[in-house]
Structure formats: structure tokens, C-alpha cells
């Protein structure tokens, strides 16, 4: 009941955001009607755009998860981008150098990505636990280290395929993620299942397991957790590793499902968008799905907005930001209202 | 039976009509440019591509449109959508090479144009690489004629064969001037190791100036650092941009690459060796219109207006007329297809190339 009403008000916020966007489109000389149509056709309205939306959303669910899990342990993981790059590196190493039947190789590719992402994030957790280095700083810096290390590996490093192109050789066919829906524009692979399973797993983990409960406690009140005898350093490190594993998997599904190789600068900010996705989802695992679909759909609509509605790229970006902003504002306002309501009830109760 | 024949003929006629493109009916070709992540406003290849499409709109009467990509995963969806709506799809740069090859294979009836990279061999996909070494050759002649220290420099953003081809052409131009005039201008080459490192470019340029080099060619973002060093060193000598505009001759010069960079520091940029992306696209679209289009890999140079140097609008008065005469003659020879002046697209060893380079006999008569 609560979730549906949350969704309802989020939808209203999306509508308000779109309304403002239409005015913006009108001001820049585009037709609001065509803009509206392009938003719909370009995100969900045709099978092709639906496929692109889904494929945009999958890595965002996973990088959103990387922020969410760390946040539950009381840590800000700004390093999703770097962890995703390392994950892509781990995955491409499996894809290039391991030759097994797909049943074994595909899980190994995903695991390779998860491992590399987890190791990088774990390092930030380790630094936080034992040196006090703040994870915001260390994860931001590690983004650069990871991205440029991976870029080096594929441009001048040992993974470069030669012929001046900044990429690796293609991975073995057996390492490609199996395709569920062979859409000609953007084939949808089992990465969707991986993302959804991750969401369900973390939802279960955080609400139904002892470790999940302790992780939440560490995040909400580290002093109490220490008092209760929890090894909070251990939870910081393992929490970051779990978070990094999801970002790493985002990189792995890009390599195994989209590019089938590793390309320099393959991501332009999916790791950072994950932060916004997690915030929009109010750090609830199930909320990641609609939040990521919103971002993915707006990204997908960019094509139609440019082609059919004649909205230039910069205005497309503004429209995206306006829609997301209005959803975020709605989230904060409704939270305030809830608190005020709760406070009111308390007062009534005490009389 | 008779009805079937009629239907059959109708189908045949329709099929024939659909085989001939819209041009046959006087309908304009629909051209869509798909940019890479840089997008419009990059003052680089993407802007050049859009300019080319706009020139085709004006001169050839096609209708043009552009799709800008936000992320690398957009390339294939964007190219596919473009292919569904257009007769001609244009893309630029090596980032797009794999994606355009994949999409072109799925749309055999649509023509694809890729500039400044090599794509797969397909009958409906033409990739154009620009012999920018020819432009660098002309710049080399001009630089060798203008230097006062007798040393000109090249800061390679990254020593890979397509970049070394610039050095090779530039050095061949210097050698030409030396042989024609009996001077002894030297070429100093340094590798910055990164396209995107202006700080390193600047440091290398300063060290070159310390070694008595007064004219430096460079490119990409790294080159911007080189040109900044040129300006600062001139400033130190009291030669500001205002002084140059008022007629003072700068002590140090930069030579731009790929784009017309003469206006970065007007008067302090001797010239630029160009990659004329708009002209290449215009030519490719024209070839589709008049039916001479062929798929596969094309190397284009001065013959196709794909390269050259700028009009020296700020520096012409500093260049001896003899040098301009040599440049003019060299352009003429290149247009006529002179094999010695066909600087390759990729060179492994610039030093060896320059050593083996034979100055065309025809150029010797220019100064006599």
C-alpha cells in the first residue's frame, strides 16, 4: 500500500517534470506535442526503444546497488565508476583467456567482474577501517586510478589489440551473455536477470538475515553496534566489498553483453549516475528498478527527441535533469510530510 | 491467370522502383550524421562532420539531420535508427568504426560513410582516411623558410604510425626546402606520449625552445600546451599578441594540425596542416548522388581537397615568396598524382622516410 502510493506520487512528479520540460522545449523552438510524443516513443513506445531503455537500466541498477549497500553500512561509495572499470577488466580477462562451455564461462565472467570490483572497493573499506582515510576521498581518487589503468591496459598496455584502436580483441563467443530477446537495435541478454536477482537478493539479505540486520545497524548507529560487540571494521570492509562487487558486475555485463570486448572510456558516468539512482530509490533495493528505468528511459528518449522533435542534445540533458530533479524534490517533500504526520500522531497519542 | 500476370508485372515495376533510390524521382537524399560522445560543439571532427552535411544541404540539395550520442552504448541504436530513416549515414572517428561496420552489414540498401578511420570492407560502407602528411609537407616547406634559428620542431602527441606520418611529411618538406635553397634546417622530434596532456606538451615545447627551436608543430589537446608555451615565450620577449597584430614579427611560432588553428594565437601560429573533414563528406555524398560511390577503404589527399594548409591569413607577409612558389608547385604536383609526394597514411620510422624521400625534380626549377 505504501509502496504503491510512493509510486503514485513519483509518477505525478515525473508528470510535473515533463510538463516543465515541454515549456522548455517550447522556449527552444521545438513543438511540445512532438516532444511529448518523442519522450514516449523514445523510451517505452516501441519494442526497440523499450530494449534500449532496459539495457540502459541494467548497469544503473547494479551501480545503484553499489551505492545502496555501502550506504546501509554507513559509507558513501562514490567509486562505482572505478569499480565498474575494474569489473570490466576482470570480466574481459576471463573472456579473453578462459575457454570453457558457456554454462561455466558466463558465470565465471560475471564472477571475475564482481571480484575485481570488490577488491577495489574493499581497499577503500580497508583504508577507512585501519587508517581512517575517508571513503569519499579514497573512492573518488580510485575512480581515476581504475579508469586510467584500464584505459592504459587497452591502449598501450598488454591487452591492446593493435592497429591503433583503443580496445581489446573480442572475447570468446562462449563468454557472451546469452540473449533473451534478440532485438535488432539492442539485444536484451540475461544481464536483466542478473540485475533483478541482485535486487531480490539484497532485499532479502537486508530484511531477512542476521548479517543484513547488523550491516544496517552499523550504518545507523556505529557506536551502538560497537557496544553490542559488532566488529564494525569487518562490516565496513565486507560491506564495501559487497558494494563493489555489484559495480564490478555492471562492468562485466557491459563487456559480456554489450561490447563483447573492452573499449577505453567505455563508460561515461554510469557509476556516478548510480548515486542518483540510489538516492531516488531512497536506498530501498526494490526502488532501484523504477529509478533505473526512469534514467534509462530518459537516456533512450534522447534519440527520438533529437530526430523527431528537433530538440538539441543540450536541451535533452536539461529535460532529463528537470524530470529527475522534480522526482527528487517530491521524494524529500513527501518524506517531510510523513514525518510531520507521524509527529502529529504522536502528539495526539500523548494527550 | 491473367490477373496473376498483371499483379506480377505490378510487383516487378514496384520492385524496380524501390531499387532505384529516391533521387530518381527528384526526392532529396536524406543524410543523417551520428556523432560520437564528443558531440557538436567539440570544435573538432564532430563539428567538421556537421559542417560537411550542411554544405551538402546547400550545394547538393540533400536534407540533413544529426543524432548526438551520449554514451558508447548509444552508437549501435543511433546508427540503426539513422539507417532506418536515411539514405546515407555519416560517422567519424575510430570509436565509431566497429559499430558502423556492424550496422552497415544489416542495411545493405543504405550507404554508410566513415571518415578518418578504417571500417570493414562492405559494398555499402566507404571509409575515408586523409593523407594529412601532404598538408604537413607544405607546412614543413613554410616552416623551414621562416625559421631564424635553423631548427624546427615537432611534438608528436603520441608516436603511433598515423601521427608519425605527420612528422614524415613535415620533415620531407624541410628537406625539400634545404635541397632547393642549400640551407641546413634541422628537424627536432619529441614524443609527448599522450593526446590529452597539454602540460607535457608545454614542458616539451619549453625544452625545445631551450634547444634553439623556434617553430613547433603539434596536435590534439597536447598541442594546445605547445602553443601556449610559444605564446608565453613570445610574451617574455615583449612580443604580445597586440604587438604582433601591430606588425612585430614573433620570435616563436606554432604550427597547428587537423583543424585550422591559426586563430588560437593570431600571428603566432604560422599555419596549420589540415584534415578537411567537411570536404571529404561533401565529396562522398556527391559520389552517392552521381552514382560513382564505391564501398571499401579510400585514402584521400590533396587531389580530393581532403588536406592542405591554411591561407596564412595572419602570417603571409613573413613567408618568402619563393617558399610560396614552391608550395604552389608542390600542390600542383600532388594534384597531378605525383607518387613521391603521396605521403603514406601511416609511417613507422620518420627518420628513415625523410632520408629515403626524393625531392621531385619539377620543384628544382621553381627557384631558378
Q: What is the pLDDT of residues B64-94, one digit of tens each?
A: 999 988 888 889 999 999 999 999 999 988 7
For B93-109, give one letter per residue: b (16+ CB within 10 A) or e: bbbbbbbbbebbeebee
Q: What is the pLDDT of residue A157?
A: 86
- Same-domain pairing of B143 and B119: no
| Residue B280 in domain | no
Q: What is the pLDDT of residue B1?
A: 46
For residues B116-128, give the mean pLDDT: 92
| Residue B244 in domain | yes
- Same-domain pairing of B218 and B270: yes
Look at chain B and report how many structural domains it folds into.
2
CATH of the domain at B223: 3.40.50.2300
What letter would DSSP give residue A43?
A: I
**How high does pLDDT run on average in chain A?**
89
SS3 B79: helix
Rg (CA), chain A: 21
- Same-domain pairing of B103 and B157: no
Q: What is the pLDDT of residues B236-253, one digit of tens each?
A: 999 999 999 998 999 999
| B287 touches A: beta carbon within 8 Å | no
- Does the pLDDT value for residue A3 go beyond 70? no
Q: What is the pLDDT of residue A345?
A: 59
Give the closest of B37, B80, B85 to A185, CB-based: B80
In B, residues 67-126, which contact A (CB 8 Å cutoff)? 67-68, 70-74, 76-78, 80-81, 85, 94-95, 97-98, 106
- Same-domain pairing of B120 and B65: yes
* Chain A neighbors of B85, CB-CB under 8 A: 307
Q: Which of A9-18, A254-263, B80-89 has the lowest mean pLDDT?
A: A9-18
Domain end call among B130, B146, B178 = B130
Q: What is the pLDDT of residue A30?
A: 84
Grid cell at residue B19: 531499387
Judging by beta carbons within 10 Å of its beta carbon (0-12, 13-18, 19+), is residue B365 exposed, middle or buried?
Answer: exposed
- Does the pLDDT value for residue A1 go beyond 50? no
Q: Where are the alpha helices (DSSP H) in B189-296?
A: 198-210, 220-236, 241-245, 277-289
For residues A126-142, give the mean pLDDT: 94
- Does the pLDDT value for residue B4 go beyond 70? no
- Same-domain pairing of B233 and B147: yes
Q: Are A237 and A125 in contact (CB under 8 A)?
A: yes
CA distance B145 to chain A (A): 34
Q: What is the pLDDT of residue B70?
A: 82
Judging by beta carbons within 10 Å of its beta carbon (0-12, 13-18, 19+), is residue A190 exposed, middle or buried?
Answer: middle
Q: What is the pLDDT of residue B191?
A: 92
- Does the pLDDT value for residue B337 go beyond 60? yes
Contacts of A285 (CB under 8 A, 6+ apart): A65, A68, A199, A200, A202, A203, A206
Q: What is the pLDDT of residue A6?
A: 64
DSSP secondary structure string for all residues of B220-247: HHHHHHHHHHHHHHHHHTT--HHHHHTT
- Same-domain pairing of B153 and B60: no
Q: What is the pLDDT of residue B328?
A: 95
Give the closest of A167, A300, A313 to B40, CB-based: A313
Q: What is the pLDDT of residues A164-212, one digit of tens each?
A: 678 899 999 999 999 999 998 899 999 999 999 999 999 999 999 999 9
For residues A288-295, give the mean pLDDT: 93
CB atoms closer than 10 angstroms to residue B18: 10
- Same-domain pairing of B122 and B138: no
DSSP secondary structure string for all residues of A1-14: -HHHHHHHHHHHHH
Of the candidates B238, B271, B8, B306, the one whose C-alpha atom is nearest the C-alpha of residue B145 is: B271
Domain end call among B114, B130, B146 = B130
- Same-domain pairing of B142 and B193: yes
CB atoms closer than 10 angstroms to residue B220: 21
| Residue B217 in domain | yes
Q: What is the pLDDT of residue A198?
A: 97
- Same-domain pairing of B42 and B140: no
Q: At B194, is the pLDDT very low, low, confident or very high (cuts 50, 70, 90)?
A: confident
- Same-domain pairing of B68 and B176: no
- Same-domain pairing of B188 and B335: yes
| Residue B17 in domain | no
For A270-309, give one letter per residue: b (16+ CB within 10 A) or e: bbbbbbbbbbbbebbbebbbbbbbbbbbbbbbbbbbbbbb
Cα separation of B336 and B315, whole Å? 28
DSSP secondary structure string for all residues of B129-187: EE-HHHHHHHHHHHHHHH-SSSEEEEEESS-SHHHHHHHHHHHHHHHHHHHHHT---EE
Q: Which residues pair with B32 in a beta bridge?
A: B65, B89
CA distance A307 to chain B (A): 7
| Residue B41 in domain | yes
| B159 touches A: beta carbon within 8 Å | no
Q: What is the pLDDT of residue A26?
A: 87
Q: What is the pLDDT of residue A346?
A: 55
| Residue B18 in domain | no
Q: Are B173 and B198 in contact (CB under 8 A)?
A: no
Cα separation of A319 and B215, whole Å? 47
Q: What angle do CA A275, B75, B119 make, to 5 degrees?
A: 140
- Does the pLDDT value for residue A4 go beyond 60? no
Q: Which residue has the higher pLDDT, B41 or B325?
A: B325
For residues A55-77, give the mean pLDDT: 96
Grid cell at residue B318: 613573413
| Residue B16 in domain | no
Per the listing, cell 545507523 goes with A220
Q: Are A104 and A224 in contact (CB under 8 A)?
A: no
Q: At B8, is the pLDDT very low, low, confident or very high (cuts 50, 70, 90)?
A: low
The residue segments making up the domain with residue B315 are 132-275+306-364
- Residue among B39, B64, B72 with most chain A CBs within 10 A, to mutate: B72
SS3 A325: helix
Q: What is the pLDDT of residues B94-120, one digit of tens each?
A: 788 889 999 999 999 999 999 988 889
Cα Dmax for chain B = 94
A296 HSE (CA, 13 A, CB side): 25
Q: What is the pLDDT of residue A165?
A: 72
Cα separation of A55 and A187, whole Å? 8
Q: At A339, is the pLDDT very low, low, confident or very high (cuts 50, 70, 90)?
A: confident
pTM, two decimal places: 0.79
Domain end call among B99, B130, B161 = B130
For residues B256-262, give the mean pLDDT: 89
What letter would DSSP give residue B349?
A: -
| Residue B282 in domain | no
Q: Are A270 and B78 a contacting pair at CB < 8 A?
A: no
Tell me which chain A residue has its CA closest to the CA of residue B77: A185
Q: What is the pLDDT of residue B19?
A: 44
Q: Are B254 and B217 in contact (CB under 8 A)?
A: yes
- Same-domain pairing of B74 and B205: no
Q: What is the pLDDT of residues B130-165, one digit of tens each?
A: 999 999 999 999 999 999 999 999 999 888 888 999
For A38-48, give one letter per residue: b (16+ CB within 10 A) or e: bbbbbbbeeeb
Q: Are B77 and A299 a contacting pair at CB < 8 A?
A: no
Amino acid at each position: 500500500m505504501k509502496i504503491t502510493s510512493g509510486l503514485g506520487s513519483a509518477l505525478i512528479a515525473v508528470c510535473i517534470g515533463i510538463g516543465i520540460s515541454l515549456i522548455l522545449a517550447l522556449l527552444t523552438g521545438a513543438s511540445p506535442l512532438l516532444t511529448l510524443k518523442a519522450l514516449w516513443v523514445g523510451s517505452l513506445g516501441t519494442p526497440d526503444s523499450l530494449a534500449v531503455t532496459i539495457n540502459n537500466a541494467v548497469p544503473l541498477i547494479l551501480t545503484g546497488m553499489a551505492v545502496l549497500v555501502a550506504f546501509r553500512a554507513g559509507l558513501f561509495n562514490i567509486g562505482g565508476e572505478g569499480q565498474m572499470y575494474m569489473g570490466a577488466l576482470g570480466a574481459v580477462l576471463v573472456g579473453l583467456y578462459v575457454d570453457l562451455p558457456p554454462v561455466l564461462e558466463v558465470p565465471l565472467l560475471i564472477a571475475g567482474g564482481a571480484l575485481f570490483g570488490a577488491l577495489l572497493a574493499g581497499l577503500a573499506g580497508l583504508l577507512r577501517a585501519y587508517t581512517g582515510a575517508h571513503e569519499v576521498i579514497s573512492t573518488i581518487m580510485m575512480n581515476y586510478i581504475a579508469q586510467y589503468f584500464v584505459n592504459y591496459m587497452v591502449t598501450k598496455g598488454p591487452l591492446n589489440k593493435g592497429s591503433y584502436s583503443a580496445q581489446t580483441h573480442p572475447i570468446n563467443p562462449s563468454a557472451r551473455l546469452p540473449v533473451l530477446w534478440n532485438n535488432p537495435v539492442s539485444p536484451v541478454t540475461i544481464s536483466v536477470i542478473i540485475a533483478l536477482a541482485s535486487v531480490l537478493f539484497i532485499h532479502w539479505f537486508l530484511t531477512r538475515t542476521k548479517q543484513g540486520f547488523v550491516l544496517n545497524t552499523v550504518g545507523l548507529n556505529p557506536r551502538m553496534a560497537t557496544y553490542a560487540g559488532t566488529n564494525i571494521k569487518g562490516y565496513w570492509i565486507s560491506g564495501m566489498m559487497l558494494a563493489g562487487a555489484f559495480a564490478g558486475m555492471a562492468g562485466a555485463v557491459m563487456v559480456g553483453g554489450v561490447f563483447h570486448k573492452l573499449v577505453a572510456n567505455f563508460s561515461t558516468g554510469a557509476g556516478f549516475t548510480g548515486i542518483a539512482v540510489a538516492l531516488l530509490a531512497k536506498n530501498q533495493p526494490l526502488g532501484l528498478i523504477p529509478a533505473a528505468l526512469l534514467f534509462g528511459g530518459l537516456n533512450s528518449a534522447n534519440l527520438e527527441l533529437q530526430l523527431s522533435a528537433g530538440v538539441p542534445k543540450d536541451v535533452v540533458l536539461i529535460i532529463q535533469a528537470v524530470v529527475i530533479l522534480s522526482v527528487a524534490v517530491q521524494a524529500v517533500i513527501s518524506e517531510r510530510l510523513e514525518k510531520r504526520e507521524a509527529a502529529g500522531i504522536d502528539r495526539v497519542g500523548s494527550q | 491467370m491473367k490477373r496473376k500476370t498483371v499483379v506480377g508485372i505490378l510487383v516487378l515495376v514496384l520492385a524496380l522502383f524501390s531499387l532505384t533510390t529516391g533521387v530518381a524521382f527528384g526526392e532529396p537524399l536524406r543524410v543523417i550524421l551520428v556523432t560520437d560522445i564528443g558531440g557538436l560543439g567539440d570544435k573538432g571532427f564532430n563539428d567538421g562532420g556537421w559542417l560537411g552535411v550542411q554544405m551538402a544541404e546547400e550545394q547538393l540539395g540533400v536534407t540533413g539531420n544529426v543524432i548526438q550520442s551520449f554514451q558508447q552504448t548509444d552508437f549501435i541504436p543511433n546508427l540503426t535508427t539513422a539507417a532506418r530513416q536515411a539514405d546515407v549515414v555519416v560517422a567519424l572517428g575510430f570509436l565509431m568504426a566497429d559499430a558502423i561496420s556492424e550496422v552497415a552489414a544489416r542495411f545493405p540498401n543504405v550507404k554508410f560513410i566513415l571518415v578518418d578511420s578504417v571500417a570493414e570492407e562492405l559494398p555499402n560502407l566507404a571509409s575515408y582516411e586523409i593523407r594529412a602528411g601532404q598538408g604537413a609537407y607544405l607546412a614543413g616547406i613554410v616552416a623551414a623558410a621562416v625559421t631564424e634559428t635553423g631548427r624546427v620542431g615537432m611534438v608528436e602527441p603520441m608516436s603511433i604510425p598515423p601521427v608519425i606520418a605527420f612528422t614524415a611529411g613535415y620533415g620531407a618538406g624541410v628537406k625539400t626546402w634545404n635541397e632547393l635553397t642549400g640551407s641546413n634546417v634541422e628537424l627536432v622530434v619529441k614524443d609527448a606520449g599522450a593526446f590529452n596532456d597539454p602540460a607535457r606538451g608545454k614542458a616539451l615545447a619549453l625544452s625545445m625552445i631551450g634547444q634553439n627551436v623556434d617553430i613547433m608543430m603539434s596536435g590534439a589537446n597536447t598541442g594546445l600546451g605547445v602553443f601556449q608555451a610559444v605564446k608565453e615565450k613570445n610574451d617574455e620577449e615583449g612580443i604580445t599578441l597586440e604587438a604582433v597584430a601591430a606588425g612585430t614579427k614573433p620570435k616563436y611560432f606554432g604550427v597547428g594540425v587537423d583543424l585550422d588553428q591559426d586563430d588560437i594565437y593570431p600571428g603566432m601560429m604560422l599555419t596549420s596542416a589540415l584534415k578537411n573533414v567537411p570536404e571529404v563528406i561533401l565529396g562522398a555524398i556527391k559520389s552517392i548522388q552521381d552514382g560513382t560511390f564505391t564501398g571499401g577503404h579510400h585514402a584521400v589527399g590533396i587531389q580530393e581537397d581532403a588536406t592542405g594548409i591554411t591561407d596564412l591569413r595572419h602570417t603571409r607577409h613573413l613567408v618568402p615568396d619563393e617558399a610560396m612558389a614552391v608550395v604552389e608547385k608542390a600542390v600542383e604536383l600532388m594534384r597531378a598524382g605525383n607518387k613521391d609526394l603521396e605521403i603514406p597514411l601511416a609511417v613507422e620510422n620518420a627518420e628513415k622516410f625523410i632520408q629515403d624521400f626524393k625531392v621531385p625534380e619539377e620543384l628544382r626549377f621553381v627557384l631558378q
